[in-house]
Structure 1
Amino acid sequence: MAATQDRVPTVYLKNGLVEGLDPNDPIEISYQKNFEGEPTGKDNPELLTMKWHHGHNNSIVNGIPRIGFMKGGEKAKWSDVDMADHFLEKAQDYVKKHKSVSFFLYYALQQPHVPRTPNSRFVGETDLGPRGDVIVEADWCIGEFLKTLEDEGILENTLIIFSSDNGPVLNDGYYDDAVERIGNHDQNGGLRGGKYSLFEAGTRVPFITYWKGQIEPQKSDALISQLDILASLAELTETEVETRDSKELLDVLMGTSEKGREELVLEASTRTAFRKDNWLMIPPYKGPAVAEQVNIELGNSSEFQLYDLSSDISQKQNLAGSNPDQLVKMIEQYKNIVGDMNSDVEALELK
């Protein structure tokens, strides 16, 4: 994909080239202004099969309004409802072709990112509307992929890492009943915030390692970053890599150690925070406390925030005022790591 599926161009790429493109129908892209005569979600709601809520009201493809403007490339445009099957098939084909040699495969599922477009096989599988249905579809894709590894005889020789890129969000640009149908379910699992947020529901994501016959099922509280996958896989494959930010934590991935990172800089929408053991410090940031369009707390405050996650995982009690010594230590350690990469860091001082 050239971008997320809610953006143009809505085409597949292979080796840097658009698949199925007619040379006589070239693609034009703009994220600033529309092309003359091209319909948009904002001006042509009668053409929509999915209604936009915010930010997704530009070019229309398959009845879905997108971010950005696109002209041309009609034969190359993808089918949204077949996208999960498309990527699954590509991943399965790759495994079948490379099963006799060592390989690394990055298989990125597009679900449940918006626009949520489940295949007809999964429509109505849940009571949560498209968001629930695409989660079931994603689960099915993972199951089918694992079956492929087993059928090809390499499941017991494959380390699988499953994770996500951010925390949960319900309405993320389209009306798809995600908010209306959620009921009493807490998609955050008791955590505060969500996608776009510096609170735990934004930065703490699912992370599962699976290796049949090698990893014993267990839950780990070790602190780890996706950055650490690089150094850890290099250790597994006895490969040397040059990296400043990746930490070798192969024993943690394999479930034989609980000793993960001691500290980590967290990031959400260019803002950063600092985690040290079970302490989390969020510096002051300007901007709204809540992103109204998605109804998510962002972590912005005019004051420092300090939380002890060992006793307050839901981040209900800001300890910055009652524990100034810990706050000072966190600020200094944060400055030592971030340095001049953040122009606001040098201005961080206790009031």
Structure 2
Amino acid sequence: MKFIKLHLLLLLGLTFFSSCTSSKNNFVEDTSNKKKPNVVIIFLDDSGYADFNPFNDDKNAVATPHVDQLSQEGVKLTNFYVPQAVCSASRAALLTGSYPGRTKVFAAHKAKERGLDTQFPTMGELFEKSGYKTALFGKWHCGDQEDTRPHNRGFQETAGLMYSNDMWKYHPVAPEVWGKNPLQYWENGKVTINDITKDDQKQLTKWYTEKAVDFINRNNEDPFLLYVTHSMPHAPIYCSDEFDGKSGKGLYADVTLELDWSVGQITKALKENGLDENTIVIFSSDNGPWSIFGNHAGKTPFREAKATSFDGGTKSATIIKYPNGLKAGAFDKAICSIDLLPTLANLCDVSLGETEIDGKDIWPYLSGDEKDNPHPYYAFSTGAQLEVIMSADGKWKLHLPHKYRKVKKYGKDGGYGKYTREKIELSLFDLENDPYEKVNVADKHPEVVKELQAFAEAHKKKFYSKVTL
């Protein structure tokens, strides 16, 4: 009997020892306590596609080493789109995974406007409900009422502006309209600067960055969602004294240098806290450059710019880095910002709830497990006007007849230029062979036109019933 008891004790001891050493040597992975991925989204304002080195071949361009490194370590997305190339609409689409036609968030909101309706849950709200620490540092622009400000939309820590930095008393065209209300700086639901000055504008990039780094340092034990929405390089452009004149290539290049520095500070904080491998970092812009400001605006090789449905407005230079899930490289297929929410929710085990959205989980597509985009098409609008349907593979782009604004005269050193209005007729572009949307090939591919028109009719019926195609 004693022998049997001794044998059992030895067996239990060996089993315990074996389980400990197996765990220590990763022979058996305990997934029950595996930490969910962190998410960091760095969203610039009106950045040009070619502003940063990974997306241009200009040897004279200002050096952006931190964005370069992010690109080398991550996946460079060369055909990443936003569904509307204007501030509020683009941001609401990212946060809700829905087209502007669904949320009815169009263009750019003014001060005190309601913005994104609370019936549409934001990324912040969904991640917060799943146990994530959440923060937004930067520009919000999705509502300026008590219940639609970021601290009541799922972001536990907040700091920044409620809308664009040009909506103030120094607006270059209509100060009496945009300066009717003071441009305020908010922190955690309270106004800490009632009327932003030009000197304050110089500190915005630094302030947002310092807040982001501090948030990472304090939350390195918990999964977090960090949304850094820089006010720059949206005109009027400013940078801190440390970067003023540093590039030797003008103020816009100085601003770009400081934004690159910000990326470096954030990625450095992730690495120093041991979070680099398990953090999804997304670097992008809400839309293309505000070209009318000339040398105070970014550069894009594509046609037109901000507030149009041409690629110069809707295509944003984007990088996604996730060492635990994505191999470094390039991804040339088309995807859209509405897909980020459902994709991140899948990766982070976050419930999307019952609200219908338009984005889809594109992780199998992005990671190479599936070759086809789960969407049949992508739709693009300006304001409440449906203007473009693009095939989901990004090859074919059908412009429905619409008017658009075109820069007639470029401004200089912060001055506002002049626009003219032009009209495009029904036009099909083969983006694979004509990425600059110059040659209308509708007559050569009537079957493609017919298919995309059918998608347009269906999209119109669902979201734009009052729009005439």
**TM-score w.r.t. structure 1 length?**
0.73
Over 3 Å counting, the alpha-carbon distance change for 1:188 and 1:296 in structure 2 is farther
Give 2:343's aligned residue: 232
Given candidates 82, 89, 96, the residue that maps to 2:203 is: 82
Per-residue deviation at 1:262? 4.2
Gaps of 5+ in 1: 20-30, 35-39, 42-51, 60-66
Per-residue deviation at 1:137? 0.5
Spell out, residue by residue over 1:176-211, the C-alpha distance to the aligned partner (whole angstroms, 9 max, x if none): x437xx9xxxx213x111111111111111121112
Give 2:450's aligned residue: 328
**TM-score w.r.t. structure 2 length?**
0.56
Q: Secondary structure at the match of 2:304?
A: coil
Supply the RMSD in Å over aligned alpha carbons: 3.8
Give 1:68's aligned residue: 179
The one-letter code matched in structure 2 to 1:239 is V
Over 3 Å counting, the alpha-carbon distance change for 1:11 and 1:137 in structure 2 is closer
Gaps of 5+ in 2: 1-86, 89-108, 113-137, 141-148, 160-166, 185-191, 411-416
Tell me the distance in 1 between the aligned counterparts of 2:327 and 2:158. Answer: 43
Give 2:231's aligned residue: 110
Say if 2:284 and 2:316, in contact at 8 Å, map to a contact too: yes
Percent identical across equivalent pairs?
Answer: 23
Over 3 Å counting, the alpha-carbon distance change for 1:206 and 1:252 in structure 2 is farther
Question: Higher mean Cα deviation, 256-265 or 333-342?
Answer: 256-265
Q: Secondary structure at the match of 1:275?
A: strand
Say if 2:234 and 2:290, in contact at 8 Å, map to a contact too: no
Per-residue deviation at 1:252? 4.0
Say if 2:182 and 2:194, in contact at 8 Å, map to a contact too: no
Tell me the distance in 1 between the aligned counterparts of 2:385 and 2:278. Answer: 39
Q: Secondary structure at the match of 1:219?
A: strand
Say if 2:308 and 2:405, in contact at 8 Å, map to a contact too: no
Question: Higher mean Cα deviation, 236-245 or 132-141?
Answer: 236-245
Per-residue deviation at 1:292? 3.7
Say if 1:282 and 1:299, in contact at 8 Å, map to a contact too: no
Give 1:145's aligned residue: 266
Spell out, residue by residue over 1:274-325, the C-alpha distance to the aligned partner (whole angstroms, 9 max, x if none): 0013110111114x55244667999952520110111111111011234333
1:219 corresponds to 2:335: no
Equivalent residue runs for 1:188-267 within 5 Å: 188-189=300-301, 191-212=302-323, 214-241=325-352, 242=354, 243-254=356-367, 259-260=372-373, 261-267=375-381
1:338 corresponds to 2:451: no
Tell me the distance in 1 between the aligned counterparts of 2:257 and 2:227. Answer: 21
Say if 2:401 and 2:425, in contact at 8 Å, map to a contact too: yes
Spell out, residue by residue over 1:220-253, the C-alpha distance to the aligned partner (whole angstroms, 9 max, x if none): 1122111111111111122332443010012344
Say if 1:309 and 1:315, in contact at 8 Å, map to a contact too: yes
Q: Secondary structure at the match of 2:331?
A: coil
Over 3 Å counting, the alpha-carbon distance change for 1:298 and 1:102 in structure 2 is farther
Tell me the distance in 1 between the aligned counterparts of 2:418 and 2:330. Answer: 28
Say if 1:196 and 1:268, in contact at 8 Å, map to a contact too: yes
Between Structure 1 and Structure 2, which shows a larger proportion of helix residues? 2
Q: Secondary structure at the match of 2:451?
A: helix
Tell me the distance in 2 between the aligned counterparts of 1:18 and 1:274. Answer: 36
Number of positions where the alignment pairs a residue of Structure 1 with one of Structure 2: 299
Q: Secondary structure at the match of 1:231?
A: helix
Tell me the distance in 2 between the aligned counterparts of 1:216 and 1:329. Answer: 35
Tell me the distance in 2 between the aligned counterparts of 1:139 and 1:111. Answer: 11
Between Structure 1 and Structure 2, which shows a larger proportion of strand residues? 2
Per-residue deviation at 1:94? 1.4
Say if 1:194 and 1:200, in contact at 8 Å, map to a contact too: yes
Give 1:169's aligned residue: 290
Give 1:119's aligned residue: 240
Tell me the distance in 2 between the aligned counterparts of 1:195 and 1:117. Answer: 20
Say if 2:291 and 2:407, in contact at 8 Å, map to a contact too: no
Q: Secondary structure at the match of 2:268?
A: helix
Say if 2:182 and 2:195, in contact at 8 Å, map to a contact too: no
Question: Higher mean Cα deviation, 252-261 or 229-238?
Answer: 252-261
Tell me the distance in 1 between the aligned counterparts of 2:460 and 2:259. Answer: 37
Spell out, residue by residue over 1:72-101, the C-alpha distance to the aligned partner (whole angstroms, 9 max, x if none): 989543411111111111111211222101
Equivalent residue runs for 1:95-106 within 5 Å: 95-106=216-227
The one-letter code matched in structure 1 to 2:446 is P
Per-residue deviation at 1:71? 5.9
The one-letter code matched in structure 2 to 1:335 is E
Larger Rg: 2
The one-letter code matched in structure 2 to 1:206 is A
Say if 2:377 and 2:455, in contact at 8 Å, map to a contact too: no
